[in-house]
């Protein structure tokens, strides 16, 4: 990846499907992940090994991992909340485990049923279990840009959580704007600080477009040196345990922006648009993505004929 290139990690089958009231059939999930692999993603967050009572939509995580075709060069990631989830993820032969804890105590209790400290204590046990397995690790600071219950989260507290992750030996770190509360000025400051602890090659930004600032936040982060971003096909997504949560930034909208700006992503944008247009069949409703509706800027219209 060249210095200017942007790495987009696809999260639709995890962050996207977790909030859908319908259960997307396992075979449809597998087919979509295989198609996303073919579209060029180097990283796909496939599913979550969480309690099936908490997130019934992802209860088939093990079957999905067993059914997908592993494309060489693609890292298949699973979200893991606790040691039991890590055990299930290792049995399913995931490539990477994404550990998630919120900086906000209130959101972590709502989402994970425990304090952030208890989550992170569990991560310590998971890091021991993962050692020597060849499975890589990512850890996410959720609600890093604001909590829907508590509001602003102090940057020092966010950085302290990043440092705790690094001390545990976690290789990759994500800062997540769980309910789209971030603004570009805040993003510039927090990401610049995070980049003093975590290199751009292992720092991911996870934005939601809840208030329409998703791509503006991407550009703010990119400007200060961030290069890795989560996004969901069609702009699906949202945390079921955060009131008012809505979609991630939309993959094909982000890929289109990058392409128009001459920033390489390695993705097949036409293929992404085709896959996005098929999402309503899977989830039963329209999806927020805009480029799949409008077409690309190069998709010109016929000149109106004079009457
Ligand atoms: N996978 C599957 N089952 C799990 C599990 C996991 N990772 N962790 C716990 N369980 C099961 C336990 O075995 C137990 O089952 P039982 O009732 O049949 O005995 C039950 O869940 C309760 O276990 P407990 O440890 O008390 O967990 P909890 O009910 O306090 O839930 C979490 C804690 C973390 C498992 C749950 O809150 C969760 O899955 N949260 C994830 C939320 C999420 O995905 N949010 C969106 C992404 S950020
Ligand atoms: Zn999210």
Of the pLDDT bands very low, low, confident and very high (cuts 50, 70, 90), residue 146 is very high
Q: At what angle do helices 105-112 and 116-130 cross, to 10 degrees?
A: 60
Cα–Cα distance, 25 to 29 (Å, whole number): 6
Cα–Cα distance, 3 to 20 (Å, whole number): 36
Of the pLDDT bands very low, low, confident and very high (cuts 50, 70, 90), residue 307 is confident
- CA–centroid distance, residue 11 to ligand 2 (Å): 8
- The yes-or-no verdict on residue 207 having pLDDT over 90 is yes
Pocket test for ligand 1, best of 50, 57, 78 (most atoms within 8 A of CB): 50
pLDDT for res 3: 87
Of the pLDDT bands very low, low, confident and very high (cuts 50, 70, 90), residue 306 is confident
pLDDT tens across 272-302, in order? 999 999 999 999 999 999 999 999 999 999 9
pLDDT for res 2: 80
Ligand nearest to the CA of 232: 2
In terms of pTM, does the model score above 0.95?
Answer: yes
Average pLDDT value over all residues in the chain: 98
Ligand nearest to the CA of 237: 2
- CA–centroid distance, residue 238 to ligand 2 (Å): 5
Ligand nearest to the CA of 83: 1
**Cα distances (angstroms) measured from residue 195 to each of 103, 162, 199, 204, 224:** 18, 11, 6, 10, 9
- CA–centroid distance, residue 5 to ligand 1 (Å): 37
pLDDT for res 271: 98
Residues in contact with ligand 1 by the CB-under-6-Å rule are 18, 48-51, 54-55, 79, 81-82, 84-85, 88, 100, 111-113, 142, 239, 241
- The yes-or-no verdict on residue 123 having pLDDT over 90 is yes
From atom 37 of ligand 1, which residue's Cα is the shortest distance away? Answer: 112
From atom 21 of ligand 1, which residue's Cα is the shortest distance away? Answer: 51
- The yes-or-no verdict on residue 59 having pLDDT over 80 is yes
- CA–centroid distance, residue 274 to ligand 2 (Å): 23
Cα–Cα distance, 103 to 181 (Å, whole number): 14
- Averaged pLDDT for residues 124-148: 98
Q: Give percent above pLDDT 70 in the chain.
A: 100
From atom 20 of ligand 1, which residue's Cα is the shortest distance away? Answer: 51
pLDDT for res 289: 98
pLDDT for res 1: 72
pLDDT tens across 241-262, in order? 999 999 999 999 999 999 999 9
- CA–centroid distance, residue 148 to ligand 2 (Å): 13
Radius of gyration of the chain (CA): 18
Tokens of 159: 């950085």
Residues that are catalytic: 239
Domains located in the chain, CATH noted: 7-292 (3.20.20.70)
- The yes-or-no verdict on residue 73 having pLDDT over 90 is yes
Nearest atom, ligand 1, residue 55 CA:
44
């Amino acid at each position: 990846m060249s210095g200017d290139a942007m790495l987009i990690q696809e999260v639709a089958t995890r962050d996207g499907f977790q909030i859908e009231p319908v259960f997307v059939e396992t075979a449809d999930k597998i087919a979509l992940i295989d198609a996303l692999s073919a579209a060029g993603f180097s990283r796909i967050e496939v599913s979550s090994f969480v309690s099936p009572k908490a997130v019934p939509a992802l209860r088939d995580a093990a079957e999905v991992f067993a059914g997908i075709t592993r494309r060489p060069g693609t890292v298949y990631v699973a979200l893991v909340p606790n040691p039991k989830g890590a055990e299930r993820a290792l049995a399913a032969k995931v490539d990477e485990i994404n550990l998630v804890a919120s900086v906000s105590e209130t959101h972590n209790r709502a989402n994970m049923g425990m304090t952030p400290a208890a989550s992170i204590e569990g991560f310590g046990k998971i890091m021991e279990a993962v050692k020597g397995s060849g499975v890589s690790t990512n850890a996410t600071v959720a609600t890093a840009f604001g909590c829907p219950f508590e509001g602003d989260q102090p940057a020092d507290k966010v950085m302290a959580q990043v440092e705790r992750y690094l001390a545990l030996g976690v290789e990759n770190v994500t800062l997540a704007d769980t309910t789209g509360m971030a603004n570009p000025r805040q993003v510039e400051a927090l990401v610049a600080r995070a980049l003093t602890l975590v290199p751009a090659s292992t720092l991911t930004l996870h934005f939601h477009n809840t208030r329409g600032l998703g791509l503006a936040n991407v550009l703010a982060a990119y400007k200060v040196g961030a290069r890795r971003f989560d996004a969901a096909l069609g702009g699906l997504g949202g945390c079921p345990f955060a009131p008012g949560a809505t979609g991630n930034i939309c993959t094909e909208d982000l890929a289109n922006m990058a392409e128009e700006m001459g920033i390489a992503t390695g993705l097949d944008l036409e293929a992404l648009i085709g896959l996005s247009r098929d999402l309503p069949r899977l989830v039963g409703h329209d999806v927020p993505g805009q480029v799949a509706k409008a077409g690309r800027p190069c998709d010109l219209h016929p000149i109106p004929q004079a009457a």
